[in-house]
Structure 1
Amino acid sequence: MAISLTRFHRSHPGAGSGHVFQQWLIITGVLVFVLWVAQQYNVLTALIAGDSTRVSLIIGLIFCATWGYCGVRSAWLSLEAARFEAIAGDDNARLDLTDRSTLTVDGHVQPASAAAAYLAALLHFHGHREGRPPDTLVDLLGERLAGAHEMGWFVCGALIKLGLLGTVIGFIVMLATVNATQSFDVAAIQQLLVGMSQGMRVALYTTLVGLSTSMVLSLQYLLLDRAADRLQARIVTFAQSRHLG
């Protein structure tokens, strides 16, 4: 049963928009502002200088690289949403195949996209077989839209573990300082306190950086997963409205 484009948009809030990239830009702007304010109070300088193990710096570099990849994925999902809207923009448009994998809408070849590949697979199935299409097509669509996010969730967990590793290293530095103390005169006590404070800074700074970067990345990957799930649901619903799914 065909449905009008108006009803399609009403039943799928946010259809026709790829807001995930805009969300990434907003969060990036907020992060840059927070880091700028922190640097004005020399927080970043103190953090880098206080962590002699450079674990915090490693965590920061991994975060920046992964955050840039999140931007690429956000832009890709927004482009996928726009290409799907080009396909679903006219309820009366004719969907067809030029060959096994190339989708056309009213004779116009559509750019390669997850939606075009899924709809083309359904059209090919209906053209050569009878019955209900296999559920694996939906699984493949979901894998193409969100499968790459698994590595991001692994990085989120790895950042926490790196922070905990820095905590362990910091306590080892503290205990090594205590173990190296041979006497308890004033000079030795002062040296002991300096070594313990250095170890404590390493432990606290790495834990802080690991937890904060992991939480921010987890938020972004949650937004990416939700955007991918919504796009998948819209594509599958559109296919069902055309009696393809």
Structure 2
Amino acid sequence: MKWDYLLFYRWLALNMVGFAILWVFHMNGMVEPVFLADSSYIVYVIAGLFLYGMVLCGFRVWKTSRELNWVKRGDKGKLKEFADKSRQSDRESVKEAFEIKLFARISFVKYISSSLVMLGLLGTVIGFIMVLTNIPANAVGDAAQVGKLVGALTNGMGVALYTTLVGAITNLWLNANYNMLRTGVVNLIAAILESADPQ
């Protein structure tokens, strides 16, 4: 049909724009310093977790989009499952259980998104700890120790600022994906309920 997998194509378009912007920053040499300045490797952990969340979110978007197609065509899918169960027992309790089940399947995306920003904040704390523990005790009054002082500050602040930046950006990006997925699930539930209601 003409509008098959519309949710998935919207998700794809959103992320193509996001990765295109990231590519522009990469071509201008603004991505590599973020990874190189982080001696704690938390930026790598954040990036890996973000990509994992994106793959899982994309899979859920595709499945939700497929279910929407089935319901709109009047085929099988979640509609059949809901209709069969609601005929056998109390419709309202089945409806609530059905909604909880569908939302539970996407809650991991929200959890990963929250974890990204928390990892960024953890990197901030680690960066400040690195600054404080690597400053030599005699560096404040000794002009010869200024180089070590600047090195410790640069290293620690690089970890603190870049992990916070990457955590915040990836959190916003994955949150945008989660909101799109959540809207798709809400639309799926509404379509199933409308289709299952007796005319």
User: Normalising by the residue count of structure 1, what TM-score does the alignment of the two structures yield?
Assistant: 0.75
Q: In structure 2, how many angstroms separate the alpha carbons of the residues matched to 1:69 and 1:187?
A: 53
| More helix by percentage | 2
User: 2:37: which partner in 1?
Assistant: 50
Which residues of structure 1 form unaligned runs of 5+?
A: 1-15, 88-109, 126-132
**What's the RMSD between the two structures over aligned residues?**
1.7
Q: Greater relative contact order: 1 or 2 (C-alpha under 8 angstroms, separation 6 or more)?
A: 2
In structure 1, give the amino acid aligned to 2:44.
L
- Does the CA contact (< 8 Å) of 2:71 and 2:191 recur in 1? no
Q: Deviations for 1:38-73, whole angstroms, at most 9, x for unmatched residues?
A: 111221110110000000110000000110111100
1:207 pairs with 2:164? yes
Q: CA deviation at 1:158?
A: 1.1
Q: In structure 1, how many angstroms separate the alpha carbons of the residues matched to 2:38 and 2:21?
A: 20
In structure 1, give the amino acid aligned to 2:72.
E
Equivalent of residue 71 in structure 2, options 72, 84, 94: 84
Q: In structure 2, how many angstroms separate the alpha carbons of the residues matched to 1:189 and 1:18?
A: 60
Q: In structure 2, how many angstroms separate the alpha carbons of the residues matched to 1:84 and 1:114?
A: 8
- Does the CA contact (< 8 Å) of 1:114 and 1:145 recur in 2? no
Aligned residues: 196
User: 2:25: which partner in 1?
Assistant: 38
1:71 pairs with 2:58? yes
Equivalent of residue 150 in structure 1, options 107, 121, 124: 107
Q: Deviations for 1:7-64, whole angstroms, at most 9, x for unmatched residues?
A: xxxxxxxxx7542211210122112212211111221110110000000110000000
Equivalent of residue 193 in structure 1, options 137, 150, 169: 150
Q: In structure 2, how many angstroms separate the alpha carbons of the residues matched to 1:23 and 1:165?
A: 33
Equivalent of residue 232 in structure 1, options 176, 185, 189: 189
1:19 pairs with 2:6? yes
User: 1:177: which partner in 2?
Assistant: 134
In structure 2, give the amino acid aligned to 1:34.
I
Q: CA deviation at 1:141?
A: 2.2
Q: In structure 2, how many angstroms separate the alpha carbons of the residues matched to 1:58 and 1:44?
A: 15
Q: In structure 2, how many angstroms separate the alpha carbons of the residues matched to 1:209 and 1:47?
A: 8
Task: Return 193-202 or 181-190, whichever deviates more.
Answer: 181-190
Query: The residue matched to 2:40 in structure 1 has which SS?
Result: coil
1:120 pairs with 2:84? yes
- Does the CA contact (< 8 Å) of 1:164 and 1:207 recur in 2? yes
Q: In structure 1, how many angstroms separate the alpha carbons of the residues matched to 2:56 and 2:62?
A: 10
Q: Which has the larger radius of gyration?
A: 1
User: 1:222: which partner in 2?
Assistant: 179
Q: In structure 2, how many angstroms separate the alpha carbons of the residues matched to 1:82 and 1:142?
A: 18
- Does the CA contact (< 8 Å) of 1:18 and 1:79 recur in 2? yes
Q: In structure 2, how many angstroms separate the alpha carbons of the residues matched to 1:187 and 1:45?
A: 32
In structure 1, give the amino acid aligned to 2:78.
A
Q: In structure 2, how many angstroms separate the alpha carbons of the residues matched to 1:21 and 1:141?
A: 22
Query: The residue matched to 1:75 in structure 2 has which SS?
Result: helix
Which residues of structure 2 form unaligned runs of 5+?
A: none
User: 1:10: which partner in 2?
Assistant: none
Identity %: 27
In structure 1, give the amino acid aligned to 2:16.
G
